[in-house]
Amino acid sequence: MTELSSPCVNFSETSFDEFLETRREPAWLLSLRRAAWQTYCDGDWPTRSDEEWMRTDLRSFRLERFAPPMAGGGSLRVDGLLSRNVELAGNVASADGSLVEQHLADEVRQQGVLFGDWESMLEEHGDLLRPYLEKPLVESSYDKFASLHAAYWTGGRVLYVPRGIVIKQPLHSISAMGDGKTDLGRTLVILEEGAEATLLTETASSDESATGFHCGCTEIYVGPRARLRFVNLQNWGLGVWHFSQQRVRVGRDASLQWTTATLGARLSQVNQHVVLAEPGAESQVNGVLFTEGKQHATCNSLQHHAATDCRSDFLYKSALQDTSRTVWRGMIKVDQCAQRTDGYQRNDNLLLSTRARADSIPGLEIEADDVRCTHGSTSGRVDEELIFYLQCRGFTRKEAIRTVVTGFFQQIFDRITIESVREAMSNAIARRVRDYE
Amino acid sequence: MADVLKIENLHVHVEGKPILRGVNLKLVRGETHALMGPNGSGKSTLGLAIMGHPKYEVVEGAITLNGEDLLERSPDERARSGVFMAFQRPVAIPGVKMADFLRHAATNVRNPDRKEGAELMPMRDFRRELKARMSELKMDVEFARRYVNDGFSGGEMKRAEILQLAMLQPKFAILDETDSGLDADAVRLASESIAEIGGKEMGLLIITHHDKLLEHNPPEFTHVMLGGRIVETGSRELADELHNLGYDRIRATYPDDEVENRTLLDKEKAGV
Ligand SMILES: Nc1ncnc2c1ncn2[C@@H]1O[C@H](COP(=O)(O)OP(=O)(O)O)[C@@H](O)[C@H]1O
Ligand SMILES: [Mg+2]
């Protein structure tokens, strides 16, 4: 990785000091950043001998082409796909890592709910947030991208829902990025005991072919008996480099429904880990990927059963066009103590071109003896007989392919209870399907 | 003038193998034709070739609708020209609900010039119509919410094909063993339904091994296919004869075609 180890003019010792100067943050946070920077400097870039990066080609990634995000940097406004035709309880919009606007319904605010950008949250609720930043779910030493993020992160959103509070309407947050810009956004969600919320997050670029660099982190705590519905849509321009660490900790008898969609970015490298940390926790992860052109999307997923009587369900579906490629490495890890585990993982791939490629690598690591874990994966091309049948009913070839692709994803759409999200995803995918070679 | 679907000297290859060897058939809208013949004689092939299945290569001959070349048209254009086939083996389309599928199909077939992405027919009109057709066919409304042919029993699939016929009201319909896999009651219901939903206004080509369907939809002509050719054409009585006595006389009268038929069947069994 000679390209990566060449001096990075933009992310350098000097620029880091300058960056810290601009941060109006408490001392404890600045020292966390400094420590992360040191970790970053000491660390090596991932190579193809690292398991998670084995199938990821970073050769044309040039960190020096991107600059650290600057305070008050962006002003780009992009209309989200997920917020259409839905009444929101709140909204946070950022551009290039800087806040553009935010809003939270009064009746929700009065219940003690916090939802907003980091700057104002740290100012007013630093004590509440400090432990989460000092003991993060994503270690800054996880890999070099994680260190870079921990040193330089800006922007993103914080959601805190106090004990027993139920927010009926969804909350929404969008991160926009201009061509060639940087977004190092961080998402922190804390649901206290018995709280309930729905959070819709999405990313967008100034245009479909925009470039950019995202190196982000999402940390979510679902407290005892709390319920979270979380949707994240990655819809960057097709030139964006996307690196993301995502972690959820699900507490006792709590439940998580997580729907993730990957549509954008030239390269997307995501680690999606769910820890079922206490007895009776439940998670459902639904993934939708649509890739085209030369896009590459890797997902390393982990369902970690660390307590008894937990259930985890994981379903990823990808459709691939042109010469795009997806890689899914899935792991169900069951600790010795995690008896009566029920774990499921599945990955289905639909190849819309002979030149696309999908790798599915499911994995089980089981130390308990009373468990039920199943996994499976399929890869196949669109069946010409289906296309012909639809054509015989008046569908054009293109409509037929779209219909088959939409049908392929329907199993996941059926699980999405928020209509606007379901529609946004199915429309975004249908729009992209061209022909099938 | 009535619409005419004409097949002339049709030769069809599948994966390089000759299957149809010069089929001639003229279907006038309003007429009912029975197409009979032993297994592997090429009946389904004829239907699929008329619809334009990409695997069925027309190497010689013509298919025209009112004198216009259908071979030039894609399968969806043929469907939009008013040609329909009820499949012997319909395929499942997972994740696509019957109702959505039918609404899109009906919109396209009724507006042959519709552009991709243009509005579908109004949901309310569609629902009302679908409900009416389904109740005529004694189908449960729940059917419309199921995925197309996905997990359907053989009988359900055939009824779904009839529902599509009813919704699309084509000029010409090829019914490929639409009565197979049904019990006696279901066959009677299917036969009545086809007559009711306007079989008389269509040109029907009925491929069948039973007589119930023809009882309700009496054919003016009966064609017998053997070894990829129509070897005999007669009236209703020919169909009755074949029902009662089988194909022995036909096989004996056309030994060369019988050899062809056997060869094809053997190849099929051998998986060639
Ligand atoms: N898709 C196909 N692939 C290979 N061979 C086929 C295919 N369809 C038909 N055939 C061949 O054509 C012959 C006629 O088949 P078919 O038209 O299905 O007969 P029928 O409907 O009269 O029973 C079969 O014997 C088989 O060998
Ligand atoms: Mg047949």
User: How far, in Å, CA of A272 to CA of A260, rounded?
Assistant: 10
User: How far, in Å, CA of B105 to CA of B163, rounded?
Assistant: 12
Q: How many domains does chain A have?
A: 2
For residue A2, the model assigns a pLDDT of: 40
Residues A60, A162: one domain?
Answer: yes
Residue A414: give the domain boundaries: 383-437
For residue A69, the model assigns a pLDDT of: 84
Cβ–Cβ of A409/B53 closer than 8 Å? no
User: Is the C-alpha dihedral spanning B80, B82, B83, B87 positive or negative?
Assistant: positive
Statement: residue A8 has pLDDT above 70: no
User: How far, in Å, CA of B105 to CA of B133, rounded?
Assistant: 15
What phi, psi does A55 have (nearest 5°)? -105, 15
**DSSP assignment of chain B, as one string?**
---EEEEEEEEEEETTEEEEEEEEEEEETT-EEEEE--TTSSHHHHHHHHHT-TTEEEEEEEEEETTEESTTS-HHHHHHTTEEEE-SSPPP-TT-BHHHHHHHHHHHHH-TTPPTTSPPSPHHHHHHHHHHHHHHTT--GGGGGSBTTTT--HHHHHHHHHHHHHHH--SEEEEESTTTT--HHHHHHHHHHHHHTTGGGSEEEEE-SSSHHHHHS--SEEEEEETTEEEEEE-HHHHHHHHHHTTHHHHHH-HHHHHHHHHHHHHHHHT-
Residues A391, A242: one domain?
Answer: no
The alpha carbon of residue B185 is apart from the nearest alpha carbon of chain A, in Å, by: 28
Statement: residue A308 has pLDDT above 50: yes
User: How far, in Å, CA of A155 to CA of A177, rounded?
Assistant: 12
For residue B212, the model assigns a pLDDT of: 86
Cβ–Cβ of A407/B116 closer than 8 Å? no
User: Is the C-alpha dihedral spanning A399, A405, A409, A410 positive or negative?
Assistant: positive
Domain boundaries, chain B: 4-269
For residue A1, the model assigns a pLDDT of: 41
Least reliable range by pLDDT among A36-50, A302-316, B252-266 = B252-266
User: How far, in Å, CA of B36 to CA of B206, rounded?
Assistant: 8
Statement: residue A267 has pLDDT above 50: yes
> Which residues form ligand 1's pocket by a CB distance below 6 Å?
B 14-15, 19, 37, 39-45, 55, 264-265, 267-268
User: How far, in Å, CA of B22 to CA of A413, rounded?
Assistant: 49
Residues A122, A195: one domain?
Answer: yes
**Residue in B with minimal Cα distance to A395:** B76
User: How far, in Å, CA of A313 to CA of A287, rounded?
Assistant: 11
Chain A touched by B81 (CB under 8 Å): no
For residue A6, the model assigns a pLDDT of: 44
B-contacting residues of A 362-391, CB under 8 Å? 383-386, 388-391
For residue B101, the model assigns a pLDDT of: 97
pLDDT band at residue A437 under the 50/70/90 scheme: low
For residue A70, the model assigns a pLDDT of: 78
Residues A418, A307: one domain?
Answer: no
pLDDT digits (tens, 9 = 90+) for B35-64: 999 999 999 999 999 999 999 999 999 999
Residues A377, A431: one domain?
Answer: no
Residues A411, A302: one domain?
Answer: no
Residues A370, A232: one domain?
Answer: yes
CA of B177 to the centre of ligand 2 (A): 7
Residues A164, A108: one domain?
Answer: yes
Mutate to test the interface with A, among B73, B96, B115 (most CBs of A within 10 A): B96
pLDDT digits (tens, 9 = 90+) for A314-354: 999 999 999 999 999 999 999 999 999 999 999 999 999 99
pLDDT digits (tens, 9 = 90+) for B99-130: 999 999 999 999 999 988 889 999 999 999 99
Statement: residue A7 has pLDDT above 60: no
What kind of fold does domain B4-269 have according to CATH? Rossmann fold (3.40.50)
pLDDT digits (tens, 9 = 90+) for B140-160: 999 999 999 999 998 899 999
pTM score > 0.90 for this model?
A: no
Separation in Å, CA B98 to CA A310, A355, A403, B127, B142: 37, 32, 12, 12, 10
Cβ–Cβ of A386/B95 closer than 8 Å? no
Mutate to test the interface with B, among A384, A389, A405 (most CBs of B within 10 A): A389
User: How far, in Å, CA of B111 to CA of B105, rounded?
Assistant: 10
Contact A53, A47 (CB under 8 A): yes
Q: How is residue A125 written in tokens? A: 């609720």
For residue A436, the model assigns a pLDDT of: 60
Residues A192, A91: one domain?
Answer: yes
Residues A397, A259: one domain?
Answer: no
Residues A148, A7: one domain?
Answer: yes
pLDDT digits (tens, 9 = 90+) for B167-219: 999 999 999 999 988 888 888 988 998 988 877 789 999 999 888 889 999 99
Residues A353, A433: one domain?
Answer: no
Give every CB contact of residue A112 below 8 A, 6+ residues apart in sequence.
A162, A165
For residue A3, the model assigns a pLDDT of: 46
Please tell me whether the interface predicted TM-score (ipTM) of this complex is above 0.90.
Answer: yes
